[in-house]
């Protein structure tokens, strides 16, 4: 499905095999659908995902079973190349709890430039226990809590992983 190298995963018994690979332009409609399903209140519009793909293709990773997308992770580098931000992470609801988000995050972190990136930052909703537990297990630590970070009523915790 893609010329990019594939990262094989242990598939759940009824679906798969899953691969993690950089997204391509052909993935956009499915990616938009998936993002809307994952983040009903904060889904990226099509044009934003389109431009993320233009900017960050190698860092827009999708979880693919060969016929559809079931998750994605998006990261971006700061202008000086020293800080990376996780801009999106999600796995389809029916496939959660199988270690797939952990694999997406591990692959995202593995692809960071070996020299130069000193910190990875992300924001997370304070009540999102699943995501917070995952990030802590990967070594992220809480850096602060910001009220209204994503607009009125949308507080976020800031977490960082330092090398
Ligand atoms: C958060 C999310 C990505 C986790 O995906 P997942 O594939 O179920 O996560 P994994 O199976 O890889 O779990 C990895 C770790 O996360 C933690 N975790 C996952 N689900 C959890 C839950 N319901 N409660 C507590 N911890 C949980 C555990 O530490 C788990 O490790 P373990 O299985 O060894 O205990 C998924 O719930 C999701 O897509 N949610 C909607 C979108 C979202 O909130 N994204 C994060 C935005 S910051």
**How do residues 67-106 score in pLDDT, each as one tens digit?**
999 999 999 999 999 999 999 999 999 999 999 999 999 9
Q: Does residue 97 have its Cβ closer than 6 Å to ligand 1? A: yes
Q: Give 27 or 10, the one with higher predicted confidence.
A: 27
Q: Do residues 98 and 12 lie in contact, with contact meaning Cβ atoms separated by under 8 Å?
A: yes
Q: Does residue 33 have its Cβ closer than 6 Å to ligand 1? A: no
Tell me, in angstroms, the distance from the centre of ligand 1 to residue 80's CA: 31
Index of the ligand 1 atom closest to the CA of residue 97 = 11
| Strand stretches in the chain, DSSP E | 7-8, 19-22, 60-64, 69-77, 83-91, 119-124, 141-146, 156-162
Return mean pLDDT, the chain.
Answer: 91
pLDDT value at position 79?
A: 92
pLDDT of 8 strictly over 90: no
DSSP single-letter state for residue 33: H
Cβ neighbours of 162 (radius 10 Å): 11
Report d(CA 53, CA 57) in Å as an integer. 5
Tell me, in angstroms, the distance from the centre of ligand 1 to residue 103's CA: 11
Tell me, in angstroms, the distance from the centre of ligand 1 to residue 93's CA: 10
Cα separations in angstroms, 121 against 41, 49, 97: 22, 20, 23
Helical segments of the chain, H only: 28-38, 46-56, 100-110, 129-137
Rg (CA), the chain: 15
């Amino acid at each position: 499905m893609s010329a990019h190298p594939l990262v094989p995963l242990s598939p759940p018994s009824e679906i798969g095999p899953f691969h993690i690979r950089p997204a391509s332009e052909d993935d956009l409609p499915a990616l938009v659908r998936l993002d809307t399903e994952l983040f009903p209140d904060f889904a990226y519009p099509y044009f934003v995902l389109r431009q993320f793909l233009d900017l960050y293709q190698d860092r827009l990773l999708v979880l693919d079973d060969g016929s559809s997308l079931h998750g994605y992770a998006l990261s971006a580098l700061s202008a000086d190349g020293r800080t990376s931000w996780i801009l999106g992470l999600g796995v389809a609801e029916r496939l959660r709890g199988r270690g797939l988000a952990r694999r997406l995050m591990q692959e995202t972190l593995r692809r960071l430039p070996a020299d130069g990136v000193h910190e990875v930052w992300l924001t997370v909703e304070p009540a999102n226990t699943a995501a917070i537990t995952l990030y802590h297990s990967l070594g992220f630590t809480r850096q602060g809590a910001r009220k209204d970070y994503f607009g009125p009523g949308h507080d976020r915790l800031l977490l960082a992983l330092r090398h």
